[in-house]
Chains A and B, each alone.
Chain A
Amino acid sequence: KAGVTQTPRYLIKTRGQQVTLSCSPISGHRSVSWYQQTPGQGLQFLFEYFSETQRNKGNFPGRFSGRQFSNSRSEMNVSTLELGDSALYLCASSWAGPAEQYFGPGTRLTVT
């Protein structure tokens, strides 16, 4: 069974731009969560989608948004990029809930 895939793997953007990251979950998984990883901060929860609905949200500003499609694929959008948004963005999928989530390799975003 194919794992979680994320595209692109690396991205360089300029401050003020916007960016869209994509995540394809494991086949059959309906829950997709997004996390931001920065040095010294561990993984910070962004939001989770289940059956195309945002089910939970972390403490990030409204510049961070997401959506999920009927095939469970998910996208995350960050608008008006700031230097502090430079991070590894990880997507994780699970069958129904967050326990035992399966992570993708991440998208490394660099904002200059």
Chain B
Amino acid sequence: DQQVKQNSPSLSVQEGRISILNCDYTNSMFDYFLWYKKYPAEGPTFLISISSIKDKNEDGRFTVFLNKSAKHLSLHIVPSQPGDSAVYFCAASAQGGTASKLTFGTGTRLQVTL
């Protein structure tokens, strides 16, 4: 039972354009969400997070949007750069992010082309 789903295994975007990565969840107990980026042969790197009390969080080129009623979140990268090419994982946590377990999606591979 995949409680966090990333239905697009891959995405290709031109440099300078917007990249939109999507994530859906089914567990209504999740109230804290995170995005991680992973390069080959490296561990995931934390990018940005959002609490369920907010619907948007911004950090530089990265913005995460949360739609609680639809149980959907998205990561926007603007403008996309070649160095953004990586696998992006969405993760969710219950209990305001203080619970001791992250549930991850299966990842979306982003390719930013020149």
Give residues in A with beta carbon < 8 Å to B.
4, 31, 33, 35, 40-45, 48, 50, 55-56, 58, 90, 92, 96-106
Q: Is B103 an interface residue (CB 8 A)?
A: yes
> B49-61: contact bitstring with A at CB < 8 Å (1 yes, 0 no)?
1000000000000
Q: Is B101 an interface residue (CB 8 A)?
A: yes
B62-103 interface with A by 8 A CB criterion:
89, 91, 93, 97-103
Cβ-defined contact, B97 with A98, below 8 A: yes
Cβ-defined contact, A100 with B98, below 8 A: no
Chain B: which residue is nearest A9 at the CB level?
B41
Chain B: which residue is nearest A56 at the CB level?
B100
Q: Which residues of chain B come closer than 8 Å to A41, judged between CB atoms?
A: 106
Query: Looking at chain B, what size class is its interface with the partner chain?
Result: 20 to 34
Question: Contact partner of B98 among A33, A45, A92, A99, CB < 8 A?
Answer: A99
Supposing A42-B107, A92-B43, A106-B43 touch, asked if A101 and B102 sit within 8 A by C-beta, the answer is yes
Supposing A99-B32, A99-B93, A100-B49 touch, asked if A45 and B101 sit within 8 A by C-beta, the answer is yes
Q: Is B12 an interface residue (CB 8 A)?
A: no
Question: Contact partner of A103 among B32, B44, B93, CB < 8 A?
Answer: B44
Cβ-defined contact, B34 with A58, below 8 A: no
Cβ-defined contact, B97 with A45, below 8 A: no
Cβ-defined contact, B43 with A56, below 8 A: no
Report 6 cross-chain contacts, Cβ distance below 8 Å, ordered by A residue.
Answer: A42-B89, A42-B104, A42-B106, A48-B101, A97-B98, A101-B102
